[in-house]
């Protein structure tokens, strides 16, 4: 009997062992095939889910499933999907196959001859697909359905049934009589489609398939709430005049708003389709070419468009003009048209040759904006506009924006007596070292006179407008309070303070005012402002007549942070939250790191203390949850649930999350690879703080073996314990799955900082964590590496000067000399770097003159002679965040001291490589580097001998 029982068990064991032994480690080429879900859609009726699976290298695939997770169809190279409002059609593009494009590039195919995307129209009911060649663009109405508008790039192939051949067209067969040459000449003179001239616009009825064609359209736009399409055409020089048109889709009527050759721009249609505005210059072509002068026109739906204003209209400042770069919009009532003006640009002196001009930048010590920022924003500033308003009911124009104001926000969707404006110009210089949030003065500008009135001075905050337009509100970073300003009463209210609610980040550890835990929005009617603290949700009376109300009553001991799930956030931000619609919360447990969905009634919680009707867990566990996406007209949601082993495939369910169905399975190959596990660790820092971090282990982990380990960290990552690190060609950090799959341990410790000593803080937090792991017996203490990038790169560079524990370190884009970095420029933004040392991430807290020793003590460069660890540096020559010279200083110091070091510079790459080929190369070299020093693998050629510059393009040295 025993034998009979043992044999089946032995058989099962052998089968399991065989299955396990078939798994293999992840190789670099395997990672390239890993898919991400790059887009997801659920139809408004809740019956269809569409998603896109995109590998790191290769072509995407678009999948269509029903709500039960049953696949209906799939399309190779499909992307950019949109489902129509009525849930009947799916519109997407089909990109050319990547291998085909590659072959065309190898053949040096001309750009206009390269394969182009197709437009795809899929009917959910019939499951039929219609494709349209050479897609240029397409648009769908936002809130109604039945029509698609699109443009294509014409071709001589004339493969589309409604396409006309451009260019030479068809040749005749006649010879010798000159008619062939005459025909060709005539066709050469035909107007050709282009970005400037416009392209044919096709308006297709998706139900009947009928199409309406309009030639040489340069811009087109649907009204969001009415069956109206407006467009600009440059005309076909024959039967169709240039101008601006409105096409009534329902009735099939075309109405010209204005006709004639001209320059038309900034087309804007009111959402109900009752008003259309645009800019036009209808002078003759020579005058337009020499000096464009735009006028503002409006069309009211029944006749020709009317000119409202030009550059000489009263209200426009002298030496200013109506700008073609200013966006046009309407107030909600339609009584006001907002548009942009700008100072007339200084004309260049065309009598001076370019080589006769000095090429110089002049920096001024007291310029409000640092000159490097000005240079960075030069093109944007050249197009900067200032808001003006035309009152249709009063027929007057008022300039609202000025050079002294940074921004303008509408109140009551443009129908209020005022607009909100801010200015930080009086404080602009000090932002160089203070950073964000900047100081601001708040203004209300009278919308009828343009006169500004300051209502708040020097506040470190950015004010916003409540949806109903009754209040301004802001979080004051200095005293950590939420505040409102009653626009009707001209009274400011402080709604809470730190003694009542701690709405500021409790874990802030930079020498700068803490940020808030954010606002969830306003209850409809501006009834209350809803804000978060670390754990709870609060309702604040905007006039401070009632004490703040805790809507969730979570306890600090539970450690659960609750946040509202609002399925229509855009509508709530525009109109306010409807409490009856808020039924779910998302919770994150800071102690266990688990996520959960919780049923909750905002309408029951609002205005009262908890009475046993608090939030109730409906889906909680050791995983990470996404914020679910709900069908507009049906109680169905799409969401993801993931952990270290589980890819976040799409799941569908009802709002009770009882019947969960897996929709996607985009990486079934995962089962073929050794994977790994993750666990939470705790230890005590050298200065007595309890710390936590994560340890990632190989799948076949044996506690009796010794493993190589890589320490990888940035600041604090342990709250992401259950996050899935998708295998990827990372731009700057190790791939967790690839390394655990290849037998590495990965330790990711949290680091806490105090002002002035970030390097020492990293040492105090990280080193005892490593020591604690070594004491557990499974870490090979002779094979420990460290890796970090940017701020992480700085920290591992610092650790190399304090300990010889590490066998190898990769430091990416690190700051090693805080003195030279302090006065440097972040070329990506043009900002000076001093703010980040005095007030943000670098945490020095003082200037170099106030505390020079802090800068020296925290700079690895000055103790580089103590380094005994081989160092791999990755720093790129177009880094706009950390100056490239920091990596050079690092490498030169190590080279001068005779320390083993390598520098990888990906040409023209920024703070990290972004080209897939560069990222792939970096990950190969990174793994080779650690494999050599931590596992004893042979040193690759690029490490042993280098790659001479003359061999750069032909020898990778792997």
| DSSP states of 362-427 | ---TT-SS-HHHHHHTHHHHHT--EEEEEETTTTEEEE---TT--EEEESGGGTSSEEEEEE-GGG
pLDDT of residue 120 exceeding 90, the answer is yes
Residue 785: name the closest of 736, 747, 819 by CA: 747
pLDDT of residue 730 exceeding 90, the answer is no
Q: Give the mean pLDDT of 128-140.
A: 96
E strand segments, 760-846: 779-789, 808-812, 825-826, 831-832
Beta-sheet pairing, 295-299 with 519-522: unpaired
Q: Give the mean pLDDT of 159-181.
A: 39
* Residue whose entry in the numeric block shows the structure tokens 């919009």: 329
pLDDT of residue 11 exceeding 80, the answer is no
With beta carbons less than 8 A apart as the criterion, state whether 471 and 542 touch: yes
Is 0.85 surpassed by the pTM of this model? Answer: yes
Give the model's confidence band at 931: pLDDT under 50 very low, under 70 low, under 90 confident, else very high.
Answer: very high
pLDDT of residue 182 exceeding 80, the answer is no
Give the model's confidence band at 949: pLDDT under 50 very low, under 70 low, under 90 confident, else very high.
Answer: confident
Q: What pLDDT digit, counting tens, does each position of 906-926 carry? A: 999 999 999 999 999 999 999
Residue 421: name the closest of 480, 472, 460, 495 by CA: 472
| Average pLDDT, rounded, for the chain | 91
CA 639 – CA 643 distance, rounded (Å): 14
Angle between helices 758-774 and 791-802 (to 10 degrees): 70
pLDDT, residue 183, reads: 55
Share of the chain above pLDDT 70, in %: 93
The residues, any chain, with a CB within 8 Å of residue 635's CB and separated by 6 or more, are: 46, 654, 655
What are the backbone dihedrals phi and psi of residue 354, each rounded to the nearest 5 degrees, phi first? -60, -40
CA 782 – CA 900 distance, rounded (Å): 18
Q: Give the mean pLDDT of 250-257.
A: 95
pLDDT of residue 16 exceeding 50, the answer is no
Q: What pLDDT digit, counting tens, does each position of 416-455 carry? A: 999 999 999 999 999 888 888 899 999 999 999 999 999 9
For 938, the token pair is 């042979």
Q: Is 181 helix (H, G, I), strand (E, B) or coil?
A: helix
Residue 278: name the closest of 351, 337, 354 by CA: 337
Q: Which range, of 161-170, 244-253, 322-331, 868-877, averages the lowest pLDDT?
A: 161-170
CA 431 – CA 439 distance, rounded (Å): 8
Where is pLDDT greater, at 952 or 323?
323
Residue 98: name the closest of 152, 136, 61, 137 by CA: 61
825: exposed, middle or buried (Cβ count in 10 Å: 0-12, 13-18, 19+): middle
For 400, the token pair is 């609202």
Exposed e or buried b for every residue in 778-799, given b needs 16+ CB within 10 A?
bbbeebbbbbbbbbbbbbbbbb
DSSP label at residue 686: T
Q: What is the distance between the terminal CA atoms of the chain, rounded to a whole angstrom?
A: 59
Exposed e or buried b for every residue in 33-62, given b needs 16+ CB within 10 A?
ebbbbebbbbbbbbebbbbbbbbbeebbbb
In sequence order, the β-bridge partners of residue 561 are 588
Q: Give the mean pLDDT of 2-23.
A: 47
Q: Give the mean pLDDT of 222-243.
A: 95
CA 411 – CA 467 distance, rounded (Å): 8
Q: Give the mean pLDDT of 381-395.
A: 95
Q: Cα dist. 478→379, 463, 475, 573, 755 in Å?
A: 34, 14, 9, 26, 18
pLDDT, residue 6, reads: 40
For 405, the token pair is 């104001």
Q: Cα dist. 555→589, 625, 673 in Å?
A: 11, 22, 42
Q: What pLDDT digit, counting tens, does each position of 804-845 carry? A: 999 999 999 999 999 999 998 888 888 889 999 999 999 999
Where is pLDDT greater, at 298 or 376?
298
Q: What pLDDT digit, counting tens, does each position of 405-415 carry? A: 989 999 999 99
pLDDT of residue 156 exceeding 80, the answer is no
Q: What pLDDT digit, counting tens, does each position of 591-624 carry? A: 999 999 999 999 887 654 433 358 999 999 999 9
Q: What pLDDT digit, counting tens, does each position of 263-276 carry? A: 999 999 999 999 99
Give the model's confidence band at 178: pLDDT under 50 very low, under 70 low, under 90 confident, else very high.
Answer: low
What are the backbone dihedrals phi and psi of residue 721, each rounded to the nearest 5 degrees, phi first? -50, -40
In sequence order, the β-bridge partners of residue 901 are 871
pLDDT of residue 732 exceeding 90, the answer is no
Q: Give the mean pLDDT of 724-738.
A: 89
pLDDT of residue 378 exceeding 90, the answer is no
DSSP label at residue 689: -
pLDDT of residue 172 exceeding 80, the answer is no
pLDDT, residue 728, reads: 87
pLDDT, residue 602, reads: 93
CA 68 – CA 60 distance, rounded (Å): 23
For 78, the token pair is 């499909």
776: exposed, middle or buried (Cβ count in 10 Å: 0-12, 13-18, 19+): exposed
With beta carbons less than 8 A apart as the criterion, state whether 43 and 691 touch: no
Q: Cα dist. 248→184, 235, 278 in Å?
A: 38, 19, 18
Q: Which range, of 510-524, 598-612, 665-679, averages the lowest pLDDT?
A: 598-612
CA 133 – CA 162 distance, rounded (Å): 11
Beta-sheet pairing, 831-832 with 825-826: antiparallel
CA 604 – CA 606 distance, rounded (Å): 6
pLDDT, residue 526, reads: 97
Give the model's confidence band at 170: pLDDT under 50 very low, under 70 low, under 90 confident, else very high.
Answer: very low
With beta carbons less than 8 A apart as the criterion, state whether 745 and 711 touch: no
Q: Which range, of 49-58, 185-194, 304-313, averages the lowest pLDDT?
A: 185-194
pLDDT, residue 608, reads: 44
Residues in the chain: 958
Give the model's confidence band at 21: pLDDT under 50 very low, under 70 low, under 90 confident, else very high.
Answer: low
Peptide bond before residue 437 is cis, with ω within 30 degrees of 0: yes
583: exposed, middle or buried (Cβ count in 10 Å: 0-12, 13-18, 19+): middle
pLDDT, residue 110, reads: 92
With beta carbons less than 8 A apart as the criterion, state whether 605 and 613 touch: yes
pLDDT, residue 154, reads: 76
Q: What pLDDT digit, counting tens, does each position of 847-867 carry? A: 999 999 999 999 999 999 999
With beta carbons less than 8 A apart as the criterion, state whether 233 and 214 touch: yes
The residues, any chain, with a CB within 8 Å of residue 199's CB and separated by 6 or more, are: 136, 151, 152, 153, 154, 193, 216, 217
């Amino acid at each position: 009997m025993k034998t009979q029982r043992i044999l089946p068990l032995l058989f099962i064991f052998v089968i399991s062992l065989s299955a396990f032994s078939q798994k293999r480690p992840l190789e670099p080429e395997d990672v390239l095939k890993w898919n991400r879900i790059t887009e997801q859609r659920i139809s408004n009726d809740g019956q269809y889910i569409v998603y896109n699976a995109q590998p790191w290298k290769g072509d995407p695939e678009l999948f269509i499933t029903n709500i039960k997770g049953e696949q209906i169809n799939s399309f190779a190279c499909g992307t950019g999907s949109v489902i129509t409002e009525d849930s009947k059609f799916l519109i997407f593009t089909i990109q050319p196959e990547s291998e085909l494009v590659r072959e065309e590039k190898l053949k040096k195919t001309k750009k206009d001859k390269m394969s182009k995307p197709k437009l795809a129209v899929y009917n959910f009911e019939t499951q039929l697909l219609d494709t349209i060649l050479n897609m240029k663009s397409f648009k769908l109405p936002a809130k109604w359905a039945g029509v698609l508008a699109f443009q294509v790039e014409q071709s001589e192939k004339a493969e589309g049934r409604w396409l006309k051949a451009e260019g030479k067209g068809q040749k005749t067969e006649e010879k010798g009589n000159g008619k062939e040459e005459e025909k060709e000449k005539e066709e050469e003179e035909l107007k050709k489609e282009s970005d400037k001239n416009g392209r044919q616009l096709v308006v297709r009825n998706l139900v009947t398939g009928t199409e309406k064609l309009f030639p040489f359209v340069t811009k087109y736009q649907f009204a969001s709430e009415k069956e109206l399409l407006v467009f600009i055409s440059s005309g076909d020089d024959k039967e169709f005049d240039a101008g601006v048109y409105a096409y009534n889709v329902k009735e099939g009527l075309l109405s010209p708003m204005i006709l004639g050759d001209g320059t038309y721009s900034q087309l804007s249609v009111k959402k109900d389709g009752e008003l259309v505005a645009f800019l036009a210059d209808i002078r003759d072509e020579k005058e337009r070419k020499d000096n464009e002068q735009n006028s503002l026109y409006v069309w009211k739906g029944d006749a020709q468009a009317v000119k409202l204003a030009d550059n000489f209209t009263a209200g426009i400042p002298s030496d200013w003009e109506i700008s073609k770069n200013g966006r046009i919009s309407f107030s909600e009532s339609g009584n006001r048209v907002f548009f942009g003006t700008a100072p007339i640009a200084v004309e260049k002196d065309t009598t001076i040759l370019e080589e006769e001009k000095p090429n110089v930048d002049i920096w001024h010590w007291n310029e409000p904006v640092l000159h490097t920022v000005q240079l960075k924003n030069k093109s944007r500033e050249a197009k900067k506009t200032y808001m003006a308003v035309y009152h249709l009911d009063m027929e007057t124009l008022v300039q609202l924006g000025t050079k002294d104001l940074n921004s303008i926000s509408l109140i009551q969707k443009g129908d209020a007596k005022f607009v909100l404006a801010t200015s930080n110009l009086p404080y602009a210089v000090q932002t160089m070292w203070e950073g964000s949030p900047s100081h601001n003065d708040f203004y209300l500008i009278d919308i009828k006179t343009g006169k500004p009135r300051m209502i708040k001075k020097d506040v470190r905050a950015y004010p916003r407008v409540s949806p109903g337009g009754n209040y301004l509100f802001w979080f004051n970073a200095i005293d950590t309070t939420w505040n409102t300003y009653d626009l009707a009463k001209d009274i400011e209210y402080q709604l809470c303070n730190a003694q009542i609610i701690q709405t500021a980040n409790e874990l802030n550890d930079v020498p700068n005012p803490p940020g808030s835990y954010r606002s969830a929005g306003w209850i409809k009617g501006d009834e209350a402002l809803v804000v978060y603290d670390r754990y709870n949700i609060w309702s604040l009376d905007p006039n401070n007549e009632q004490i703040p109300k805790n809507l969730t009553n979570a306890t600090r001991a539970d450690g659960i942070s609750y946040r509202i799930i609002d399925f229509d956030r855009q509508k709530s931000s525009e109109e306010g939250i409807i409490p009856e619609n808020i039924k779910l919360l998302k919770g994150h447990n800071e102690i266990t790191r688990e996520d959960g969905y919780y049923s909750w009634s905002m309408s029951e919680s609002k205005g009262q203390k908890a009475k046993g009707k608090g939030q109730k867990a409906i889906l909680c566990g050791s995983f990470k949850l996404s914020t679910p996406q709900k069908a507009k007209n049906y109680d169905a949601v799409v969401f993801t649930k993931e952990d270290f082993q589980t890819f976040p495939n799409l799941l569908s369910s009802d709002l009770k999350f009882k019947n969960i169905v897996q929709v996607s399975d985009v990486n079934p190959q995962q089962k073929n690879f050794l994977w790994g596990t993750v666990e939470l660790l705790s230890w005590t820092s050298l200065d007595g703080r309890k710390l936590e971090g994560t340890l990632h282990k190989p799948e076949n982990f044996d506690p009796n073996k010794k493993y190589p380990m890589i320490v990888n960290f940035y600041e604090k990552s342990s709250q992401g314990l259950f996050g899935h690190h998708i295998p990827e060609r990372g731009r700057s950090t190790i791939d967790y799955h690839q390394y655990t799959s290849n037998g590495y341990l990965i330790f990711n410790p949290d680091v806490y900082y105090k002002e002035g000593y970030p390097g020492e803080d990293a040492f105090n937090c990280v080193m005892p964590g490593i020591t604690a792991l070594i004491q557990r017996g499974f870490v090979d203490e002779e094979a420990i590496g460290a890796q970090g990038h940017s701020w992480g790169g700085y920290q591992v560079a610092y650790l190399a000067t304090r300990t010889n524990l590490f066998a190898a370190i990769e430091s990416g884009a690190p700051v090693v000399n805080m003195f030279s970095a302090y006065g440097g420029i972040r070329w990506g933004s043009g900002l000076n770097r001093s703010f980040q040392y005095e007030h943000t991430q670098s945490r020095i807290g003082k200037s170099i003159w106030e505390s020079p020793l802090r800068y020296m003590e925290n700079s690895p460069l000055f103790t580089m002679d103590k380094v005994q660890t081989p160092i791999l540096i990755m720093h790129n020559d177009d880094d706009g965040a950390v100056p490239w010279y920091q990596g050079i200083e690092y490498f030169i110091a190590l080279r001068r001291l005779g320390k083993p070091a390598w520098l990888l510079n990906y040409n023209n790459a920024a703070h990290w490589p972004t080209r897939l080929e560069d990222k792939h190369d970096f990950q190969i070299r990174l793994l080779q580097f650690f494999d050599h020093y931590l596992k004893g693998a042979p040193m690759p050629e690029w490490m042993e001998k280098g790659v001479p510059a003359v061999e750069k393009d032909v020898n990778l040295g792997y």
